[in-house]
A and B are shown apart, each in its own frame.
Chain A
Amino acid sequence: MDGNYSFRKNISAFFIEIGELTGFAGRFFQELFSRPFEFREFLRQSYNMGNRSMLLVGVTGFILGLVFTLQSRPTLMEFGAVSWMPSMISISIVREIGPVVIALILAGRIGSGIGAELGSMKVTEQIDAMEVSGTNPFKFLVVTRILATTLMVPILVILGDFIALLGSALVENLKGNVSFTLYFNQVFNTLEFSDLFPATIKTFFFGFAIGLVGCFKGYNSKKGTAGVGKASNSAVVFTSMLLFIIDFIAVFITDIFYQ
């Protein structure tokens, strides 16, 4: 009985949270188009997010391309299809693996950071202080951060994809004597608009989700410093789940259009 009650309570809390998150997103769109625009803060956030995540994305992308190529090579060699390596790697990375892995990394890097920062500002009354100073804290803190993640995640994903392809090209160069020029010629001959466009569009949604959930968790954090940790942690968990849902929807829609 207790287990059943607890399960129902958790399900109910989950749907309440989804409702609150939807309301939060609604408020974002409402505040987005009203004056004043916090352009300076938006640029500061974009710069911080991009600058501080670049190395992480670069290293992750490079290792991703390297490992993916090393793992796939023996299987392709077995079927005598090793010449297909650049095409296969580029399509896999650009369409799916690059955006999802890098978005997950950024959910951990940026999403948890936003959750912790806003949560800490909330419990130390910095958000109240901002409001008393005549600033709309939602606009200044939330709108700018969500916009910044929405813009920066696609840019970081493109960067990560490119570095992953560089990693892959390096393996092919060392193991298969394929020149970088030949590798990238094959990559660009393979990739089509239908590979690039949907993959890029979905990264805007990934960025939006990372910013939205991080801000939602941080802005609504409660119960002192323990609440800050919880906000940061649940921002990552919730965002990761949301990223897979968005990815599924994106792939499903793409499949309908390009069938």
Chain B
Amino acid sequence: MKKEAKDTVINIHNLYKSFGETKVLNGFNLELLEGENLVLMGKSGSGKSVMIKCLVGLMEPDKGKVEVLGRDISKMKRQELDELRADIGFLFQGSALYDSMTVRENLEFPLRRHTHKFNLENTDELVLEALKNVGLPHTIDMMPAELSGGMQRRIALARALILKPKIILYDEPTTGLDPITAKEIILLMLDIQKKYKTSSLIITHDVDCARVISNRMILLLDGVNYAEGSFEELSESKDPKIMAFFK
């Protein structure tokens, strides 16, 4: 199998997370291989965003192991975690651009935080390169509020890419966008993956997005992996719970 030939970049084992009485993740497992596009699908409130936040240390799981690039994040100190985060790009659901900063400042922000990885003298070049990758170099001095939703999502993608991460996490990248812009974002994600050979974990409930981009899919139900396989395998399943995702 191909799976054994590649390195594992993310390994989540037996992850549990509750909020009060509500159990969100109930023994969830995930393995992301190098260069792979793994799509995670689940209903709203099924714990997808919680899982991705546990993955980057924004939330602490109740139980379970999270390894990113071979390192257990629960055992890492703040500084080590920050250094590891330079290898992870994160595209937030609502773009999460800093609205008091220009596009240039938004993109410079991660660069200024990781001076060990980048020379600050090349900041302008890196910002421009990232903006060219998403087709928006002319927006460099604009404020996020002046941009459309689709443009904001592209800028957010440029910001996620600027540190040249090994892994990119997409939290519902096409949510809230019209079908044409959503398609543009999906194609952009594919281009980026080809260009930079990144490994991607994509959380979505957009079936079109999953069809185009996924190498493999996991269906999350009641906090556990309900099914796993390629898009074709899952979309042809006769299980009513799996079929519900593809309707």
B86 with A134: CB separation less than 8 A: yes
Is A17 located at the chain interface by the 8 A CB criterion? no
Inter-chain CA distance A121–B82, complex, in Å, is 20
Contact between B94 and A125 (Cβ–Cβ < 8 Å)? yes
* Given A131-B58, A134-B86, also A124-B114 (CB < 8 A): no
Q: Could you say which of A117, A121, A124, A134 contacts B85, with CB atoms under 8 Å apart?
A: A134
Q: Is A128 an interface residue (CB 8 A)?
A: yes
B-to-A contact residues, CB < 8 Å: 53, 56-58, 78, 82-83, 85-86, 88, 90, 92-94, 96-100, 109-110, 113-114
Q: Whole-angstrom distance from the CB of A45 to the nearest CB of chain B?
A: 11
B113 close to A125 (CB less than 8 A): no
Q: How far is the CB of A117 from chain B (nearest CB, A)?
A: 7
Binary per-residue interface labels of chain A (126-138) against chain B in the complex, 1 for a CB within 8 Å, 0 otherwise: 1011111111100
Contact A133/B113 with A126-B99, A128-B58 known, Cβ cut-off 8 Å? yes
Q: Are B113 and A135 in contact (CB under 8 A)?
A: yes
Q: A124-B96, A134-B83, A136-B78 are in contact. Are A129 and B113 (CB under 8 A)?
A: no
Asked whether B110 lies within 8 Å of A133 as measured between CB atoms, the reply is yes
CB within 8 A of A129: which of B86, B88, B96?
Answer: B96
A residues 107-158 near B (Cβ < 8 Å) are 117, 120-121, 124-126, 128-136
Task: Please provide the chain A residues from 234 to 250 with a CB less than 8 Å away from any CB of chain B in the complex.
Answer: none
From residue A100, how far is it (CB to closest CB) to chain B in Å? 30
Q: Distance in Å from the Cβ of B199 to the closest Cβ of chain A?
A: 17
Which residues of chain A are within 8 angstroms of B100 by Cβ–Cβ distance?
Answer: 117
Task: For A125, give its contact among B83, B96, B110 (CB under 8 Å).
Answer: B96
User: In the complex, A128 Cα to B57 Cα: how many Å?
Assistant: 10
Which residue of chain A has its CB nearest to the CB of B85?
A: A134
Report Cα–Cα, A207/B65, bound state, in Å: 44
Which B residues lie within 8 Å of A126 (CB)?
A: 96-99
CA gap between A9 and B96 in the complex, in Å:
36
Q: Is B96's CB under 8 angstroms from A133's CB?
A: no
The distance from the CB of B153 to the nearest CB of chain A, in whole angstroms, is 13
Residue picked from A128, A131, A132, A136, most chain B C-beta under 10 Å: A132
In contact, A125 and B85 (Cβ under 8 angstroms): no
**Given A117-B100, A132-B56, A134-B85: A125 touches B114 (CB 8 Å cut-off):** no
Question: Closest Cβ of chain A: how far from B68's Cβ, in Å?
Answer: 12
Closest CB in chain B relative to A145 CB, distance in Å: 12
Residues of A within 8 A of B88 (CB): 132
Docked CA distance A125–B93 (Å) = 9
When distances are taken between beta carbons in the complex, the residues of chain B under 8 Å from A128 are 53, 58, 92, 96
9 contacts between A and B (CB under 8 A): A121-B98, A125-B92, A129-B98, A130-B98, A131-B58, A132-B88, A133-B110, A134-B86, A135-B109
Chain A nearest Cβ from B196, distance in angstroms: 18
Q: In the complex, A124 Cα to B100 Cα: how many Å?
A: 13
Complex: chain B residue closest to A132, CB-CB = B90
Which one of B78, B85, B98 lies within 8 Å of A132 (CB-CB)? B85
Q: Which residues of B contact A120 (CB under 8 A)?
A: 99
Nearest A residue (CB) for B100: A117
CB-defined contacts of B98 to chain A, threshold 8 Å: 121, 126, 129-130
**Which one of A117, A121, A124, A134 lies within 8 Å of B113 (CB-CB)?**
A134
* Chain A residues in 8 Å Cβ range of B78: 136
Give the chain B neighbours of A121 by CB distance below 8 A: 98
B82 touches A134 (CB 8 A): yes
